[in-house]
Chain A
Amino acid sequence: QSALTQPRSVSGSPGQSVTISCTGTSSDVGGYNFVSWYQQHPTKAPKVLIYEVTKRPSGVPNRFSGSKSGNTASLTISGLQADDEADYYCSSYANNYVVFGGGTKLTVL
């Protein structure tokens, strides 16, 4: 049950795009198409942005997109906005557990 690996921080200017990676193993990310991404602003509960690798819940802007290759999933945020500054977490279904990444702090410069 090791945590998925995410970069601790990323940054970008308004209007730019950033990509956050999430690396696991063949037992979690690589083995299932059940990767989710969550956004968490300070003192708030997490909010789901992406589920099942590429799907967006209603209400989530299409600036947020997900993908996966092998054991690594990615979240891309295009057209960065000030409100995108937050912590981002990936998670993956595994057979007998769920695992999160360590989180990535996105700074909008």
Chain B
Amino acid sequence: EVRLVESGGGLVQPGGSLRLSCAASGFTFSSYWMHWVRQAPGKGLVWVSRLNTEGSSTNYADSVKGRFTISRDNTKNTLYLQLNSLRAEDTAVYYCARGGPRRWDNMDVWGQGTTVTVSS
């Protein structure tokens, strides 16, 4: 079964940091682009970042550029998102999603999400 399981969310103070993880199973993780997408409470989906298969090419939404870093460990089948300089507006459920072998492929498998709350 193809599966993505996020972890690492929690309550953090403004200006703080957090690292999210996404454990992949049931497919050849190293062959797929991976994405992070977030959803603030009661709001819509917002794309955050994507990473190529080797971990060498990244893209970020303007709202997180310079603060968030996406990475992966293909030996551990795990995707990461390092969140720094967190703001209240970063409060959201963070989903990891599988892309495809090509950068333009859609997101076809999603995790259940992990919740990040930024509050003092």
Contacts and interface: CB of A to CB of B under 8 A. Distances in A.
**A associates with B:** yes
Interface of A: 1, 3, 32, 34, 36, 38, 40, 45-48, 51-52, 57, 87, 89, 91, 93, 96-103
A32 B104 contact: yes
Interface in B31-88: 35, 37, 44-47, 50, 59-62
Contacts, number: 61
Contact of A98 (B44, B47, B111, B113): B47
Interface of B: 35, 37, 44-47, 50, 59-62, 95, 97, 103-108, 110-113
Contact of A48 (B37, B44, B47, B108): B108
A100 B44 contact: yes
A97 B59 contact: yes
B106 A36 contact: yes
Given A93-B104, A100-B44, A1 B95 contact: no
B30 to A, nearest CB: 21
B68 to A, nearest CB: 13
B62 to A, nearest CB: 5
Contacts of B44: 3, 87, 89, 100-103
B106 A52 contact: yes
Contacts of A102: 44
Given A32-B104, A91-B47, A97 B61 contact: yes
Contacts of B97: 46
A14 B98 CA distance: 33
Given A48-B107, A100-B46, A103-B45, 11 more contacts: A34-B104, A46-B97, A46-B107, A52-B106, A93-B104, A96-B59, A97-B47, A97-B59, A98-B35, A102-B44, A103-B44
Which 3 A-B pairs rank lowest in CB-CB distance, beginning with the nearest?
A103-B44, A51-B106, A36-B106
Nearest to A33: B104
23 contacts: A3-B46, A32-B104, A36-B107, A38-B107, A45-B111, A45-B112, A46-B37, A46-B45, A48-B108, A51-B105, A51-B108, A52-B106, A57-B108, A87-B44, A89-B44, A91-B45, A91-B106, A97-B59, A98-B47, A98-B50, A99-B47, A100-B44, A103-B44
